[in-house]
Structure formats: structure tokens, C-alpha cells
Structure 1
Amino acid sequence: MPQRRAVPTLTSLCLQSLAQHMQSLWAKDYSDNYLDEYEFRFLVGPFNDLACGLVQELLRLLGTSRRLSRAALHLLLLPHLRQLSLTSCPALANNALGHLIVLRCQALSVLELAGCGRLSPSVLVDLAEGLPRLSRLGLAHTQANLQVLSAVGSCCHHLRELDVTGCRKVTPRALRHLAYDPAERSPGCPRLRVLLARDLEHAGDGDTVAAVAFLLLALPCLEVLAHGALPDALRLLHSGQLGGTEDSEGFPSLEELARGRGAAAPLTLPLRQLEEVEEDALSTVHAVCPQAEEVSMWLGDNPGPSGLRELPGWNCLSRLTLGCSGRHGRALAELLPLAQGLGTRLRALTLHGFTCRDPLSLPALLASCPGLQSFSAELEVPQDPHAHHEPPEEEEEPPAPPPRWATDLLPQGLPRLQSFSLSLAGPVPAAHGPALCSTLASLLCGAPRLQSLRLLALPFPLDSVLEPALPGLRELRELSLAGSRVSPGAVWQLLGSEGPLRRLELSRCPDIHRRDYDSFLQAVRKQRLELDITWE
């Protein structure tokens, strides 16, 4: 059965006590006497002696319980704080708070400000200039602009991760300033490894493509660049036609940067993650980024000379996402040669929009990748042309005993699998049901490390698949059956099974009704189980 609620640790109880008394005692005194006196540094309290991890946990407790006030936040900006996230309280993050962070938190190495749109660009500049030890900075959906990225590039020499997703004021020129200081004629952010810059303006114009190419050449340690113009920038670098990119403001040209990366050999980049790659560009991307470990790509309708043949040649490739961008999708069976080519190297596989015309193609695909740790697929099933609806019988026959599905479709099992998700779109032909049930039964019996299981909108009964497998799923923590057919009896068996289950999703399950849900909740409360059940 799901585990009973654990006895709180002494540390947890102490933090909860602090959270309960924060507003009524220390925050009240601070509000009454010091809140608007920004030269005041600290108010002594038990929170001053907490390690930085406990301070962050206290901030989280106050935020989740909606007790985090401006005064409490001021009090917890302590000198030894190493990590600070304001994403749970963006309304409290104003310019005055930004100045306090610079004043009090000089030791910060991680600062997350996503969604804090009230911080002005000048304050963001002060933060970048005043916190030189930052290794991770989150500025998603803020007012970050050219001046902010210039300050980050010039001052944050230890920065390894930067997020400017959704920052509408970040222009192509701002990206160049991040990587190079034309006034000092020196590179910026020399240690930057991860740059997330999705959903920016000007994503497809020529200036943006050149700016992204500039980043790729000017940031020698860059391993992840999430930007819509990345594939076009890689095409530009692979073509070698880098002339005409001189800049009047003192930035080096792409040709100069490329020479600095070594012109004798074909240009290669250390990118480990590639997003939104089109199928016809795969060979070009492979040539420039031979060390890629994670690739997401879109496939068209035409299964002709396929770029999929390039994928097994990527020696480091272990995580793959494939989506069908055409109107008709592609057959799942087309991926079998690819799966066999990647073999045990593949650790994560995500599929969108493929058609499962042959129900045995799914187990064949899984059997080819015994090293999978994560698998997710949103599949379409073709309609059965011979399907017809018969009128209901006047007298219902007694229910047949549950079938015993074959469990040998995956001979090696998936011993490393930790996460599995399967979603089906459209009615499933009667001939597909037994094969899919046997596939799921084989998978669940051969995946002892499974922690997250999502079986979404499966229109055939799952009781006979789940019940025999439950005793072996000793590490299952999350189970979602949203939109699938599962009976209340199967849920009761789940509640009585061994394992650390924490979350159970039963939304839109046609066989689960309100009275069943109420009974499940009553059992959880009565037995004090650490289990969250959702239903609607």
C-alpha cells in the first residue's frame, strides 16, 4: 500500500514553527520599525543561524502557505545565502528588493527571477554587476535588454547557465553583447554552458541568424543553446559563407571568430542538445555538432530518403525526440531500423504524432532499446474500416473472467526504465486491443525500477494489465490513468499494494464515479497515507 505519512523530522518541525511565527513576531517588528529604512541591514532572529539550504526551505514553506510577506522576505536575505528564487512571489520583487539583494547577498551563486517583471532594467544591471559569483541566472519573462545582457557578459565571469526566455527586449544585438564587449574588445561569459533564449522577437530574420551564429563561435563552452534560429545558424556556419558580417560597433566578424576556432579542420561545435531540427537539415547539423547527446527533430509526411539514417552515426546520442509535422503522420514501424541502430545507447525516446498501424510495432520498438530510462509516445491509431456498432443486448451476459495476457513480447524487459507514458488518439480497432494489452503487461512485468507510469486515454480495460503487475512495481511513485478505463476494484487493489505511491490521477476515467472518489479519499485519510488522488 502507499506509505503512511512519515513522522515529521525535528528540522521540519522547527522550520514550520518559524514559518508560523514569522509574520506575527519578527516580520511585524521589522514592518513597524525598519521596513522602509533600506540602510537598515539585519534583524536578529533564529533564522540568522540557519544554513542557506534551510533558509531556502523556509522561503518555500512561507511561499506555499501564502505567508511570505515583503517584511519576511527582507529578513531572509541573509549574507550566507547561496541560492535565491523569487518565482513564487514575483509581486514582491520590486526595485527596492533588488537593491537589498545586491546589498545583502553577495555570496549568491544561483538567482532565479523568472516572471519578476517589476524589476527595471537598471536594477537588473545592478544585480549582474553586484553579484559576481553567480553561476546560474534566470531572467525569463523580465525586462532584460541590451544593457542587462551587456552587464551579464562583462561581469558574470563564473556564469554557467542563463535563461532569457520570453524577454521581448532582448534583440539580436543584445545577444552579441552577451558574448563580447566591443568597448573592451574582450569575450564575455567565458564559462557559459547553457543559454535558454526561446520565444524572443525577431526569431527568423537574418540579423538574428547571424547573432546566434556569433554566440556559437564566441562562447567556446556553450553546450545548450535553445533558440528558434539555431538550425539556420548551424546551416550558415556549415556553408562557410561568413563574409559580409563585419560590424561597425566593434564586434569581430564571423570569419574572425571562425579563424579563432581553428580554420584548418571543418568547424565543429561542442553543442550537446539540439532542438527543432528539420529532417532535411539533419546531415548538416550532424557535421557541425558531432557530440550531440540530445536531439529533437520534426519529420514530414514523405518517408523517402530519410534523415533518420544519420542518427545512428551520432556516437554520443542517447536522448531523442521525434515529431511528425505533416498532415498524415508517419508509421511507427518506420522507426524500427533506427531503434535497432541506436540499440542500447538510447536512454530516452519521445514520440509525437506517429501512427500505430501495426500493433506489434510498439513492442518491437521497445524491445530494440533495452537501455531505455524514459519513454513517452502520443500515438494515433487508424480507424477500423470494418467496425460497426451493434445494438445492445436485452439481457447482459455474465462478465467473462479477465484475460491473462502474454508477457513475453519484451524478452529482455526494460530493467532501467523509470518513466513510461502512452497516449492514444482515436478509437482503437478491436484487433489492436490484445496486442497493446500484451505489450503493456510485458512492459510492467519487466520494468522493476518504474517510478512514473502514465496510461492516458486508453479505451480498453486496464484491470487485467495492472493487477498482475502491481506486486512487482515496488518503486512506483506516480500513476496517471486519466481518460482510461479502470475499475474501482483495481484502484482498491492499488491502495492495498506495497510501494511508495505518492500521486494517483483518475481524471475523466469513465468507470470511476464521485462515490468511488469519496471512498478513496476516506480510506487515505483513515489510514493516514501519503497519497494525493485527483479526479474530476
Structure 2
Amino acid sequence: MPQRRAVPTLTTLCLQNLAQHMQSLWVKDYSDNYLDEYEFRFLVGPFNDLACGLVQELLQLLGTSRRLSRAALHLLLLPHLRQLSLRPCPALVNNALGHLIVLRCQGLTVLDLGGCGRLSPSVLVDLAEGLPHLSRLGLAHTQANVQVLSAVGSCCHHLRELDVTGCKKVTPRALRHLGYDRLARTPGCPALRVLLARDLEHTGDGDMVAAVAFLLLALPCLEVLAHSALPDALRLLHSQQLDGTEDSEGFPSLKELVQGRGAAAEGAPLTLPLRQLEEVEEDVLSTVHAVCPQAEEVSVWLGDNPGPSGLRELPGWKSLSRVTLGCSGRHGRAVAEVLPLAQGLGTRLHTLTLHGFSCRDPLSLSTLLSSCPGLQSFSAELEVPPDPHTHDEPPEEPPAPPPRWATDLLPRGLPRLQSFSLTLAGPVPAAHRPVLSSTLASLLCEAPQLQTLRLLAVPFPLDSVLEPALARPALRELRELSLAESRVSAGSVWLLLGSDGPLRRLDLSRCPDIHRRDYDSFLQTVRKQWLDLDITWE
């Protein structure tokens, strides 16, 4: 399945050569003569003629090879640079470098400063004010505060994506400044579509809920707002009980903003263009649906109570295609409870993720997969409880010869599936294993576009599950395979190594039937045949 390593392109070889010689020539000259003279603008070298994308690729190459230094970073801050990510090297980023970015790279449209905590708020303000063309700005885990977000809201008129995750100085007041320019009396960041604001310091839950509601109303194009207070803010707006939410610092009230959104008449429904909703409790789904009817992705926390629930609300979302369901109670909900949802969405459902569910009926997994043939990605962490009608099982003995499982449990197949991940928690009763094995065998044979496959902590042998797909062969597009903590033999791995396909990553971590001698043999074959394959084992 793995392919031979491709011959490096001429572009790659040139960049590698440039990275190899930068330290001994241009970086050394710059360090010796100009490093601390921040008014010095340029040093002529071959990197000056590189296109924007190649400069970014060279920065990445220097970073991965641990050759990126402060001097090399200075040299590559070129005027024609359009995208710059400093997330891989936060230790090299200081206030002087921030000033240098403003001085040299005023054409930047993408800037990621995630984790660069040494940049002071005043320098972050200078960056927001001095880079007017930014469309994407990453400030996660920085010293961003009210002054920084005020500058972003006032100056970054083309900004479409902003990340302030983990910024502990971002308060409710800072969020209001982001959403509204008090001096111009206009919305801040009028083009903002994505705002990631997870893990902020909570200074009064009521203030934060009101601030999030303010953002939802003030930013007309907002489609994604990742914040834990979002469901409560949506509930507040749906109730339209907005008395007491006025602000004394010159910001418009929520009532005024609601009127500006065209819901001036009392009782008129308010709708927002949000496309992605996170951490929605099951009991508020109907409220959230009423305010956000255009949602395409939603993650829901379910309680312990089975039976009729808010899940019935989900098929009513006409654009919904990505669903994540998690069980927050002590007892996991049964996979069978997801079937009406899958059947209601049908081919519209492209992504389904399940956390903490219980596979009490072994046929429920195959029935669920058969109900949504349009799936592109499926991920589930399932517990298979013991069958109360069976007695304690004797220790398992390996079957001889290995069984041949049915591969027709998915009659319509999964023609668009690209990613499949299944984690099984705890032992699997013997009565469940044949059906689960046949389900997995059917999946591997009937998913021709599968690129990523993860079968994690599967306690029963997978050799007979993999065999039908390898015999056809069916896994022609597989690029990543993880069998961590699962039972698979060295023989199946050799079949994988001998088949055709683009496999590049194989994870055999903590597989009980793979030993050191097997791993060494795999690596020797990869080296001898010059295969482009990374194998992990421990």
C-alpha cells in the first residue's frame, strides 16, 4: 500500500539549499552587523526574490529543522509577504519583532501570533492599526485586552476571522469594543465571520452573556462564535427580555441593536446567520433552532433521560449537515436513539461524531451507518455493556481457522466516506463480536474513498476484518491507518505493506500482538524499499 518516496522537486531542493546556507552566510552577517539596529530594513539575498508562498515555506522548513533564529526571522520579513505564522516559534517573538512586522510587512492579510505571550498590548495595538489589510488574525494566548480589541474593531475593516482563545485579559467590555466603534458609532469589524473566543476569564457570567449577545447583534456577518456563553446568549435574545442590559459607556443597548436588525415590532422573531453552534444543551435546542435556522453544524450535550428528546428538533434544520452528540450524564445513551436523527437527515448528514454512547444492540451501529449513506466523516467512542442474559464468559481462545465475516451489512455502502474512527471502551461480549466484526468488514469493503481509518482499543482480532478489504483490494485511497491498542497481527501488517495505495502513516502503538522484532522488520523493509511511510510503535 505505501508508495515509494517521491523525488524532491527542484523548488524543494532549492529551498533546502537556501535554508542550509542561510546560517553561515546571510544570518551571520546580519547578526554581526545589523540585528539590534531595527531601523535597518533589508539585506539583499536570494530570499528577496522568493514569492510570498515560498517565503512562508522557507520559514516552515527552517522551523521544522530547528534552524530558525531571530536573525533569520528578521531577514524573511519581506514587504511582499502576505501570510505570516509565528505560532511555531513564540520564543523568538518580542516587542522589537512586532515593530519590525509593522515596518516591513504592511501588506499582510494573514497574521497568526498564537502563543506569542511576550508581545505587549501596546505592540498588539500597533499591529492592528498598522496592518489595515488583515483578513485573518490569530491572537490566541496573547496579552490581548480591551485596548487591543478596540483597535481591531476600529481599524481592521477587512477582518473575516479572529482568534482570541485563552486571552485572559479579554473581558466583556473588551468584546463590546470589538463589536462597536464608539467614536464612529458604527459596528466594528463589519466583515467578521468567525470569532473564536474559548477559555476566556469569566468576570460575572451575566456580563459575559450580555456581551456575547451584543456581539451577535452588532456583527451582521458573524457565522461562527465559539464561546461557552453562546447558548445562554441565544436564549436571552429569543426571550426578548432585554431590560437591564443597557451599557453606560456609550454602547447601544441590546434593544436598539435588535431594532437595527429589523425586529423592531414587539414579538417579531429575531434570526441570526450563525452556521456553527457549540455546546448546546438538549433542552434548549428548540430555542436555538428558532434563532439560528441556517445552522450547518451543531454539537449537543445530552442528559441521561432516554426516549423522546430534543434530538427530534435537529432534522428540522434545513442546512444541517454536521452533528456532534455527547452524553453528559453518568449513563451513556444508546446508539439506537440516534437512528431517528440519522434517518431524518438522510443523505444531508455529512459528519457525525458520538461521545459516550452505549452500543447495547450490536446491529445498531450497522443500522446507523446504513441510514446516512452521504457520510464523509464518522467518529464514535462507544461502550459495549455486557449482556445481562449471559453468564460469565470463559477466557477467549483464538479461533482456528479465522472466521470469514459477512461483508453485506451496508447494502448501499458509504461511497463518500473519507474518515472513520471507532474507539471501543471496555471488553466486548462474545455475542457482540461477530456482528461488530461484520460491520467493520462491510465498511472497509464498501467505502472506496476512505482516506483515514482509526480502529482504537478494539479488543477482538482485526485480522479477519481487514482481510476481505485487502483481498479485493478496497482500501486504494487509504493514507492514514491507526490501530493503536487493538489486536492485529504482524501478518496483516505485512499484507498492508505489500498492497498498492498511498498509505503514509501507520500507528501500531501499544498493539499487544506486535513486538519489537516485528517493528524492526517493518522499518527495515521501509528503508530498503524507500517507502514514504511513517510507522509508530511503542
Interval containing the TM-score (normalised by the shorter chain): over 0.9
Amino acid at match of 1:108: L
CA offsets per residue over residues 287-325 of structure 1, 9 Å max, x none? 000000000010000124400010000000000000000
Structure 1 distance, partners of 2:44, 2:368, is 61
Number of residue pairs aligned between Structure 1 and Structure 2: 532
Partner of 1:493, secondary structure, is helix
2:494 maps to 492
Are the equivalent residues in 1 in contact too, given 2:171–2:203 (CA < 8 A)?
Answer: no
Amino acid at match of 1:388: D
Distance change >3 Å, CA 6–CA 204, structure 1 → 2? farther
Structure 2 distance, partners of 1:47, 1:475, is 37
Partner of 1:357, secondary structure, is coil
Structure 2 distance, partners of 1:521, 1:40, is 50
2:337 maps to 334
Are the equivalent residues in 2 in contact too, given 1:90–1:116 (CA < 8 A)?
Answer: yes
1:451 maps to 451
Partner of 2:24, secondary structure, is helix
1:197 maps to 197
Partner of 2:298, secondary structure, is strand
1:343 aligns with 2:337: no
Structure 2 distance, partners of 1:90, 1:130, is 21
Structure 2 distance, partners of 1:303, 1:18, is 62
1:39 maps to 39
CA offsets per residue over residues 13-61 of structure 1, 9 Å max, x none? 0000000011111000000111011110000000000000000000000
1:185 aligns with 2:185: yes
Amino acid at match of 2:392: H
2:211 maps to 211
Are the equivalent residues in 2 in contact too, given 1:363–1:439 (CA < 8 A)?
Answer: yes
2:513 maps to 511
Structure 2 distance, partners of 1:472, 1:205, is 53
Are the equivalent residues in 2 in contact too, given 1:138–1:163 (CA < 8 A)?
Answer: yes
Partner of 2:355, secondary structure, is strand
CA offsets per residue over residues 325-355 of structure 1, 9 Å max, x none? 0101111111111111010000000000010
Amino acid at match of 1:346: L
Partner of 1:24, secondary structure, is coil
Q: 506-515 vs 198-207, which deviates more? A: 198-207
Amino acid at match of 1:67: R
Are the equivalent residues in 1 in contact too, given 2:271–2:293 (CA < 8 A)?
Answer: yes
1:56 maps to 56
Are the equivalent residues in 2 in contact too, given 1:203–1:229 (CA < 8 A)?
Answer: no
CA offsets per residue over residues 207-229 of structure 1, 9 Å max, x none? 00000000000000000000010
Are the equivalent residues in 1 in contact too, given 2:197–2:226 (CA < 8 A)?
Answer: yes
CA offsets per residue over residues 417-461 of structure 1, 9 Å max, x none? 000000000100001000001000111111000000000000111
1:476 maps to 478
Are the equivalent residues in 2 in contact too, given 1:204–1:228 (CA < 8 A)?
Answer: no
Amino acid at match of 2:497: L
Structure 1, unpaired ranges of 5+: none
Structure 1 distance, partners of 2:299, 2:203, is 18
1:253 maps to 253
CA offsets per residue over residues 79-122 of structure 1, 9 Å max, x none? 00000000110000000000000000011000000000000000
Partner of 2:245, secondary structure, is coil
Are the equivalent residues in 2 in contact too, given 1:183–1:250 (CA < 8 A)?
Answer: no
1:298 aligns with 2:301: yes
Identity %, equivalent residues? 87
Partner of 2:520, secondary structure, is helix
1:388 maps to 392
1:273 maps to 276
Are the equivalent residues in 2 in contact too, given 1:185–1:250 (CA < 8 A)?
Answer: no
CA offsets per residue over residues 62-86 of structure 1, 9 Å max, x none? 0000000000000000000000000
Structure 1 distance, partners of 2:135, 2:377, is 29
CA offsets per residue over residues 238-291 of structure 1, 9 Å max, x none? 001112222111000000000000114410000000000000000000000000
Distance change >3 Å, CA 134–CA 244, structure 1 → 2? same
Partner of 1:250, secondary structure, is coil
Which residue, 324, 332, 352 being the options, matches 2:327? 324
2:5 maps to 5
Distance change >3 Å, CA 33–CA 465, structure 1 → 2? same
1:362 aligns with 2:358: no
Partner of 1:472, secondary structure, is coil
Distance change >3 Å, CA 75–CA 434, structure 1 → 2? same
Partner of 2:382, secondary structure, is strand
Distance change >3 Å, CA 71–CA 390, structure 1 → 2? same
1:521 aligns with 2:535: no
With the length of structure 1 as denominator, give the TM-score of the two structures. 0.98
Are the equivalent residues in 1 in contact too, given 2:433–2:460 (CA < 8 A)?
Answer: yes
Which residue, 487, 502, 507 being the options, matches 2:504? 502
Are the equivalent residues in 2 in contact too, given 1:134–1:158 (CA < 8 A)?
Answer: yes
Are the equivalent residues in 2 in contact too, given 1:113–1:138 (CA < 8 A)?
Answer: yes
1:121 maps to 121
CA offsets per residue over residues 482-505 of structure 1, 9 Å max, x none? 010000000001000100000000
Partner of 2:357, secondary structure, is strand
Deviation of the 1:388 alpha carbon: 3.0
Are the equivalent residues in 2 in contact too, given 1:387–1:429 (CA < 8 A)?
Answer: no
Structure 2 distance, partners of 1:211, 1:247, is 10
Distance change >3 Å, CA 308–CA 203, structure 1 → 2? farther
Are the equivalent residues in 2 in contact too, given 1:283–1:307 (CA < 8 A)?
Answer: yes
Deviation of the 1:387 alpha carbon: 4.6
Amino acid at match of 2:178: L
1:374 aligns with 2:363: no
Amino acid at match of 1:134: L
Deviation of the 1:204 alpha carbon: 6.3
Are the equivalent residues in 2 in contact too, given 1:95–1:118 (CA < 8 A)?
Answer: yes
CA offsets per residue over residues 338-380 of structure 1, 9 Å max, x none? 1110100000000000100000000000000000000000001
Amino acid at match of 1:518: D
1:224 maps to 224
1:29 aligns with 2:32: no
Which residue, 308, 323, 338 being the options, matches 2:311? 308
Structure 2 distance, partners of 1:367, 1:31, is 63
1:402 maps to 402
Structure 2 distance, partners of 1:166, 1:173, is 16
Deviation of the 1:391 alpha carbon: 7.0
Are the equivalent residues in 2 in contact too, given 1:85–1:111 (CA < 8 A)?
Answer: yes
1:107 maps to 107
Question: 5 Å matches for 1:426-441?
Answer: 426-441=426-441
Structure 1 distance, partners of 2:99, 2:119, is 10
